A and B are shown apart, each in its own frame.
Chain A
Amino acid sequence: MLTFKNVTKHYRLGQQTVEALKGVSGQINKGEMVALCGPSGSGKSTLLNTLGLLEMDYQGQIELAGKAYPKDPKQAAMYRRTKLGFVFQRFNLIPVMSAWENVAYPLMLNGFSLADQEKKAREILDKVGLAEYANHRPDNLSGGQQQRVAIARALVHQPEMVIADEPTASLDSHTASVVIDLMKTLGHEMGTTFIVATHDPRMALQCDRTIDLVDGQITAEAMKWAS
């Protein structure tokens, strides 16, 4: 379970200080798929990055499975590689690596043997329907295929939580629905929590619940879910 209490985040924009998150609190259960929704500038990406430990400079408490998030950058990196997975809007695959090597990367970071890396990577690529594309480089894959590889990469090391930032924004509607289904199915199958920042109402509808943010605060309607 992920809990966050009074999370506040300030940005400096020139001479001004912008309060991107104004003491947001909430709770996300294990295996739950939650959408962070809101207009641009509402703070959903900031909250997502903070919950994904990509932003360290915040105030408040965040705990995953009862353990507080680390504050030290090196410990945070270790935390990300072991407990978190990431899916990005523009897929962010490593262009020089094949699909299975991209998927195997988190396993490499976690010290798996080369044989295990390849085995597990190919297994999960099979699950996302890309077994035959395992040796393809990202530039030989379509956008939907790349995002499926990215989902496989996010899940291969069985993290506790996957952070997905606009995962369908670069995809057409059909591909987007395939990706949404895949995330939901695999998330539930593996018991992995998904937090998805999205503008896409189809995506939000597919999630177990949504958290709406406006001006750095969780709106009242969403609060009933969050608390």
Chain B
Amino acid sequence: MGQLIPLSLRVVFLNLQRNRRRSLLSVLIIAIAVFALTSAGGFGLYTYESLKESTARDTGHITISQPGYFEQDEEMPLENGLADADVISKALLSNKNIRGIQPRIEFNGLISNGSKSTIFIGSGVNDREFDMKGPFLDVREGKTLSSVSSSRYDPSEPEVMLGVDLAKNLKVAVGDWVTLLATTSDGALNAFDFKVRGIYSTGVPELDKRQLYLHIQSAQELLSSDKVSTLSVFLFETKLTKNVQVWVDQTLSGLDLQQAVELTPWQERAFFYAKVKDLYDRIFGIMGAVMALVVFVALFNTMTMSVTERTREIGTLSALGTYPAEIVSGFVKESGLLAFIGAMVGGLLSALLTVLLMVVDVQMPPPPGRTDGYPLSIYFSFELLMYCSAGVVVICILAAWLSARKGVRKPITEALTYV
């Protein structure tokens, strides 16, 4: 039977040409559905990827802390801090998948310009952390914190970077001095003067009003402690998070640490990512279901019309001894071919749109709770295209099967006299 396939496939193709306008319309509907799904899905993938990278670069791919650090409040700064930061860092840096390990101190206090004071949320970080953040930190004025090992760094002029709205509130600019007042780990009050090195935006107005960065050494000095709040492990590739986490866990269990530690992957701290993904997944799920329904109705209509028009032909084929399944299979192949061509056209349109958006800058409005818009981009995913194509092929085959099955059930003598 293998040699018969070319004739049967040729017949399938020729049958589609009987009513070219109808076939073209079906292909167009399928193409639009696939285009819409792959484009919307591609936008979703781009958003997921961006949020994933943004979160991973902000918190680190893996955060090492004391157990329960993120669940319980500290009565005193660094009360739940890590004491073995250096030992842990040295042990973990041997892994070639780890790009860097950055200590962090999270604390808060008051910031003053001499005449006005306000609350701040401070992060003590290494200057290297800004390299790891990459494009996910928007420096509006000045520069990021200097390297403390650089000859240009003056320890007598400790540096601070302020959130854009915090700087605006205090009416300070790059080069101005501010005073940070905080409670030390012993409960005493301590204050230092800092020179504003840079002004940045996180994109979140509430953070821009309160947040500031300073060197971790300055934060430790201000808080009178040599502990750090957490260690952020940055990887070269986000997809390696799970594997590296296992390795880190095994490595840390082999160390003689003063305290137990807990590992938190970025996903568990990516609340925004998880919520957006959940929302988009539902939106795209509903959209996919609607598209599937549209394709089904369109194809069912097309195939039913085709089956009805060819009733006498079905009768002839049956009379000649063609099995009902073989006749249905012909319609299924026609529908499958329509779906395949439509899916390819839809995929091509989606790929063209992806390329177009790389060339043309289309800005999206800022998401709720954020200050900046972002460029519209979509990822062209072959995997997504394959899923969408497989989906429409299945839907089209189902539509053809249902309509053709009805056609072949008609008695042969009745079908032969159908006009």
Determine whether A78 belongs to the interface, using a CB cutoff of 8 Å to chain B: yes
Contact at A81–B7, with CB atoms within 8 Å? no
Instruction: Give the number of chain A interface residues (Cβ < 8 Å).
Output: 32
Contact at B1–A111, with CB atoms within 8 Å? yes
Instruction: Report the separation of the CA atoms of residues A77 and B14 in the bound assembly, to the nearest whole angstrom.
Output: 25
Instruction: Report the separation of the CA atoms of residues A80 and B315 in the bound assembly, to the nearest whole angstrom.
Output: 13
Q: Which residues of B contact A173 (CB under 8 A)?
A: none
Contact at B18–A105, with CB atoms within 8 Å? no
Instruction: Report the separation of the CA atoms of residues A108 and B323 in the bound assembly, to the nearest whole angstrom.
Output: 13
Contact of A108 among B4, B15, B18 (CB under 8 A): B4
Instruction: Report the separation of the CA atoms of residues A106 and B412 in the bound assembly, to the nearest whole angstrom.
Output: 17
Q: With CB as the reference atom, state the residue of chain B lying closest to A55.
A: B413
Contact at A92–B7, with CB atoms within 8 Å? no
Q: A92-B312, A96-B18, A114-B4 are in contact. Are A86 and B11 (CB under 8 A)?
A: no
Instruction: Report the separation of the CA atoms of residues A106 and B316 in the bound assembly, to the nearest whole angstrom.
Output: 11
Contact of B321 among A81, A92, A95, A97 (CB under 8 A): A81
Contact of A106 among B15, B315, B320 (CB under 8 A): B320
Q: Which residues of B contact A90 (CB under 8 A)?
A: 312
Name the distance in Å between B83's Cβ and chain A's nearest Cβ: 81
Q: A95-B18, A96-B14 are in contact. Are A81 and B3 (CB under 8 A)?
A: no
Contact at B321–A77, with CB atoms within 8 Å? yes
Instruction: Report the separation of the CA atoms of residues A49 and B316 in the bound assembly, to the nearest whole angstrom.
Output: 13
Instruction: Report the separation of the CA atoms of residues A130 and B301 in the bound assembly, to the nearest whole angstrom.
Output: 39
Contact of A77 among B4, B315, B318, B416 (CB under 8 A): B318
Q: With CB as the reference atom, state the residue of chain B lying closest to A154.
A: B320
Most central of B1, B18, B416 by chain A CB within 10 Å? B416
Contact of B316 among A79, A88, A109 (CB under 8 A): A88
Determine whether A160 belongs to the interface, using a CB cutoff of 8 Å to chain B: no
Instruction: Report the separation of the CA atoms of residues A82 and B322 in the bound assembly, to the nearest whole angstrom.
Output: 11
Contact at A113–B321, with CB atoms within 8 Å? no
Contact at A80–B1, with CB atoms within 8 Å? no
Contact of A49 among B1, B11, B18, B413 (CB under 8 A): B413
Instruction: Report the separation of the CA atoms of residues A101 and B4 in the bound assembly, to the nearest whole angstrom.
Output: 11
Q: A77-B321, A92-B316, A96-B15 are in contact. Are A108 and B416 (CB under 8 A)?
A: no
Q: A88-B416, A94-B313 are in contact. Are A74 and B323 (CB under 8 A)?
A: yes
Contact at A109–B321, with CB atoms within 8 Å? yes
Q: Which residues of A contact B14 (CB under 8 A)?
A: 96-97
Contact at A114–B7, with CB atoms within 8 Å? yes
B: interface residue count bin: 20 to 34
Contact at B312–A82, with CB atoms within 8 Å? no
Q: Which residues of A contact B322 (CB under 8 A)?
A: 77, 81, 109
Among residues 303 to 326 in chain B, which have CB atoms less than 8 Å away from a CB atom of chain A? 312-313, 315-324
Q: Which residues of B contact A153 (CB under 8 A)?
A: 320
Instruction: Report the separation of the CA atoms of residues A88 and B317 in the bound assembly, to the nearest whole angstrom.
Output: 12
Contact at B3–A113, with CB atoms within 8 Å? yes
Q: With CB as the reference atom, state the residue of chain A lying closest to B6.
A: A114
Chain A 52-88 against B: per-residue CB contact (8 Å), 1 yes, 0 no? 1011000000000000000000100111111010101
Q: With CB as the reference atom, state the residue of chain B lying closest to A49.
A: B413
Instruction: Report the separation of the CA atoms of residues A115 and B319 in the bound assembly, to the nearest whole angstrom.
Output: 24
Chain B 1-31 against A: per-residue CB contact (8 Å), 1 yes, 0 no? 1011011100100110110000000000000
Q: A95-B18, A108-B7 are in contact. Are A54 and B316 (CB under 8 A)?
A: no
Name the distance in Å between A209's Cβ and chain B's nearest Cβ: 25
Name the distance in Å between A191's Cβ and chain B's nearest Cβ: 20
Instruction: Report the separation of the CA atoms of residues A90 and B315 in the bound assembly, to the nearest whole angstrom.
Output: 13
Q: With CB as the reference atom, state the residue of chain A lying closest to B312.
A: A92
Contact at B1–A97, with CB atoms within 8 Å? no
Q: Which residues of A contact B11 (CB under 8 A)?
A: 94, 96-97, 101
Q: Which residues of A contact B3 (CB under 8 A)?
A: 113-115
Instruction: Report the separation of the CA atoms of residues A52 and B319 in the bound assembly, to the nearest whole angstrom.
Output: 8
Contact at B413–A80, with CB atoms within 8 Å? no
Q: Which residues of A contact B319 (CB under 8 A)?
A: 52, 54, 80, 86, 88
Q: Which residues of B contact A52 (CB under 8 A)?
A: 319
Name the distance in Å between A196's Cβ and chain B's nearest Cβ: 16
Chain A 165-208 against B: per-residue CB contact (8 Å), 1 yes, 0 no? 00000000000000000000000000000000000000000000
Instruction: Report the separation of the CA atoms of residues A92 and B310 in the bound assembly, to the nearest whole angstrom.
Output: 11
Q: Which residues of A contact B321 (CB under 8 A)?
A: 77-82, 84, 106, 109
Contact of B320 among A109, A115, A117 (CB under 8 A): A109
Name the distance in Å between A1's Cβ and chain B's nearest Cβ: 22
B residues touching A (Cβ–Cβ < 8 Å)?
1, 3-4, 6-8, 11, 14-15, 17-18, 312-313, 315-324, 412-413, 416
9 A-B interface contacts by CB (under 8 A): A54-B416, A82-B321, A97-B11, A101-B7, A101-B11, A109-B322, A113-B3, A114-B6, A117-B7
Further pairs besides A96-B11, A106-B321: 16, Cβ < 8 Å: A54-B413, A74-B323, A77-B323, A77-B324, A80-B319, A81-B320, A88-B416, A94-B317, A96-B17, A96-B18, A105-B320, A108-B4, A111-B1, A111-B4, A113-B3, A114-B4
A residues touching B (Cβ–Cβ < 8 Å)?
49, 52, 54-55, 74, 77-82, 84, 86, 88, 90, 92, 94-97, 101, 104-106, 108-109, 111, 113-115, 117, 153
Closest 9 CB pairs of A and B: A81-B321, A96-B14, A80-B321, A92-B316, A114-B3, A54-B412, A113-B3, A77-B321, A86-B319
